[in-house]
Amino acid sequence: MVQDLTGQFETIRDPWETNYAALVPRFSGGSSAICSLLIIYVILRSHKKLSTTYHRIMASMSVTDFLASVAMTLTSLPMPKEMPHEKEYGFSWAGTRLGTTQTCNVQGFFFQFGFTATITYNTILCVYYVCSLVIQMSEKRIHRFVEPVFHAVAILFGLVSAIPPLFLELYNPSDSTYAWCGITTYPHQCTTWDDVDCVRGNG
């Protein structure tokens, strides 16, 4: 039997449960997704297209950013219509929830993969500048010896950060961290409370 813990969880709530939490990421995430598509479009319409390492890095980074941005833009829509014992725990989420646990997992996976890979590609872009401008490696040598490592590292980091939470049931709605499904236990911070059992994410 689940206790009514509404009062106990009041201390960890914040404005994430207001309507602004569901609306603001739709504009910021949507703008980011559109800008990423524009970058890809400009690259593909350029004279060099994807023939340079720089263009391929930028295009790849735009693709991963697009994935994360779309996941963020959906905000509460992929969240399960009802989480277990949410009334007893006193949780509420802003926005319309139309999804299931599976759609929440998909949203969380693509956000985590895209976010991590995008950050990695940003770092890789800096390394590319070092190779090109400081070390003065030729474009041919970068393409042959360095670029494959660039893409492998970015994709690997993204997958390593995104896959384990699927098996650990860690992609869940959070009432105080995200306005979308992300890495968190359910109930949020249940691992810090002695008398609250984690329903998802304590494996």
Q: What is the pLDDT of residues 37-68, one digit of tens each?
A: 999 999 999 999 999 999 999 999 999 999 99
pLDDT interval class at 16 (50, 70, 90): low
Name the pTM for this structure.
0.86
- How does the average pLDDT of the chain come out, rounded? 87
Closest CA to 91 of 203, 7, 169, 1: 7
Determine the pLDDT at residue 17.
Answer: 59
Query: How many CB atoms sit inside 10 A of residue 119's CB?
Result: 18
The CA distance from 86 to 101, in Å, is 14
pLDDT exceeds 80 at position 117: yes
Determine the pLDDT at residue 140.
Answer: 95
Instruction: Decide if 71 contacts 180 (C-beta within 8 A).
Output: yes
